[in-house]
Chain A
């Protein structure tokens, strides 16, 4: 008796499912009768909020285009793009030459928005925003400067009463674009950091403790007296965390803002493949720890219909889409970069 009623319930359930299944458009590959198109992508977590906003807004005006994005991390995005399981990838660091060669076809980089990384700290009794130089940050993360009242800190922070407390270094434990940008900057300003640590999404930190994600780092810094960490600018802004200013190449101490991050991108000569680091920018008002985040596309995709839809979308993202960036905490691309990208899109055939 029990079994029978169970079976009846099952069949009702199945029947109820069926009409729904018919309604949903078939996913990959190909198009359905109505002409709707699904494009799948995967990659970096940092730009996920703005990407999903873009896909959402774009779908309002183009109901036939469905773009799915999985924020599985830059490394995962590159892997899936190389394996051609997704149509586009996204990464916080440019692909290396070895990675590009491993791909079955030529891959192009397209910057989408900009992000910055800011130092956050927790020193009892110090309310004033601190100043940091690149060399100082490198020495702190190398474990060479260990006290808050170290002359190297006092020298560039005149008038600030610094305690004799230990510096507790906090870094990201998970592989991330934030690590990449931060290490990229420190490697540029410190030969020792470049030699001992280097640049990657995960590195062998010589000092400190690791915490997972922006929230892990900021949580630990907030709890621990004497701690210093680094988080994405967008994260610090959204959580209203105070952060220190960093000295740029021109010698100015710049407090990170969307504007000073955008200026960093305008201050570098852009190569044709857009694979460029913009940390330690030459521009006078640029914030030095800034980076692009990239969309990755095959230059000669076999699926022409999807490719056309993707290019149309991306042109929209470069123009109208950029206006959504500031409200979500991302720095928009400078006009020169947008213009260059518009040209580069014609390379995709």
Chain B
């Protein structure tokens, strides 16, 4: 009798905490919308599609920021994903046993470095290297700061997240899978391929986690991206991201409409992050249906995607 009432109380208690998370998300969405009402009613959908950001005349369009955010995050992912997976595979499958722990520890240490430190490293080390590269490529003008520097610094920041999670996924692949592969006469590379295939949905989750991180990164990107709002595919041109414009302009924005426009950028970033997360869930879900992965890995994948 007592036991069941304990159970119920426990369920209510933890349920309340879970509801709390929901409340926070809804609260953020509500508050962001409420505080950007002026800008939403004035510009409507044009806010998403126009490129002029002029605080003096009160014209606000967020397209260059949306573009810069997505472009830099995708580029960062293209660089970071292969490297991170390489690290994860080496540590979990190939590394000598004594190197395993130190390597894992070092990659995780990268995640603990504050982003301002990455930013300073970016300004003093990465940007001059990028500038030399641009000069060699004949870019005019060779600025150093710009999309390439931002994508590279984001990649470095994303690698530890993606590689740590991917490593855990690979570690959780049952050894029977590899043993079965070896038993069928597979080479080491083929056995690793089997393990990767087994944890595929989880690894995608790890990559998407890195993508989410790249979307929201602020200060390091602000310091190297050049902060010029323009929509261009050029890697060498300065661009701008949503998080960077908020960080740059929020403290001095005294005008109401201006402030609301900046908060609406925050709202857009919130929406885009949710959409990206939903898409990655969908991707994992559709893969699971196709492969019908065994239970343990599916569970891990789900954890990662969350």
Contacts and interface: CB of A to CB of B under 8 A. Distances in A.
Contacts, number: 95
Nearest to A198: B56
Contact of A204 (B55, B140, B253): B55
Interface stretch (A68-76, A113-121, A152-160, A246-254): A68-76
Contact of B123 (A201, A209, A219): A219
A173 interface: yes
Contacts of B88: none
A40 interface: no
B127 A174 contact: no
B210 interface: no
B69 to A, nearest CB: 16
A175 B248 contact: yes
B145 A220 contact: yes
Contacts of B252: 73-76, 174-176, 201-202
Contacts of B52: 204
Given A173-B222, A205-B228, A223-B128, A78 B123 contact: no
B228 A209 contact: yes
Interface in B239-267: 240, 244, 247-254
A166 interface: yes
Contacts of B247: 174
B249 A175 contact: yes
Contacts of A216: 123, 223
A223 B254 CA distance: 33
B227 interface: yes
Nearest to B119: A212
A209 B238 contact: yes
A162 interface: no
Contact size range, A: 20 to 34
Contact of A203 (B56, B227, B238, B253): B56
A202 B55 contact: yes
B145 A209 contact: yes
A103 to B, nearest CB: 11
Contact size range, B: 20 to 34
Contacts of B248: 173-175, 202, 210, 212
| Best-buried of B55, B223, B251 by chain A (most CB within 10 Å) | B251
Interface string A16-47: 00000000000000000000000000000000
Interface string B152-196: 000000000000000000000000000000000000000000000
Interface in A181-223: 197-205, 208-212, 216, 219-220, 223
A192 B124 CA distance: 36
A199 B55 CA distance: 10
A203 B123 contact: no
A202 B226 contact: no
Contacts of A59: none
B140 A166 contact: yes
Contacts of A74: 252, 254
A204 B143 contact: no
Contact of A200 (B56, B227, B244): B56
Given A168-B143, A208-B228, A220-B145, A198 B254 contact: no
Contact of B251 (A99, A174, A208): A174
A79 interface: yes
B131 A211 contact: no
Nearest to B56: A198
Contacts of A199: 56
Contacts of B227: 173, 209-212
| Best-buried of B52, B128, B238, B254 by chain A (most CB within 10 Å) | B254
B141 interface: yes
Contacts of B54: 203-204
Contacts of A173: 222, 227, 244, 248
A149 interface: no
A176 B223 CA distance: 16
A74 B253 CA distance: 9
B41 interface: no
A75 B254 contact: yes
Interface string B85-126: 000000000000000000000000000000000000001100
Interface in B194-252: 222-223, 226-228, 238, 240, 244, 247-252
A216 B248 CA distance: 12
B68 interface: no
Contact of A166 (B141, B145, B228, B253): B141
Contacts of A259: none
A200 B55 contact: yes
The 7 closest A-B pairs by CB, nearest first: A175-B252, A210-B227, A173-B227, A198-B56, A73-B251, A204-B54, A75-B254
Interface of A: 72-76, 78-79, 99, 166, 168, 173-176, 197-205, 208-212, 216, 219-220, 223-224, 226
18 contacts: A73-B251, A74-B252, A78-B254, A168-B141, A173-B244, A174-B247, A174-B248, A175-B251, A198-B57, A201-B55, A204-B52, A204-B54, A209-B238, A210-B248, A216-B123, A219-B123, A223-B123, A223-B131
Interface of B: 52-57, 123-124, 127-128, 131, 140-141, 143-146, 222-223, 226-228, 238, 240, 244, 247-254
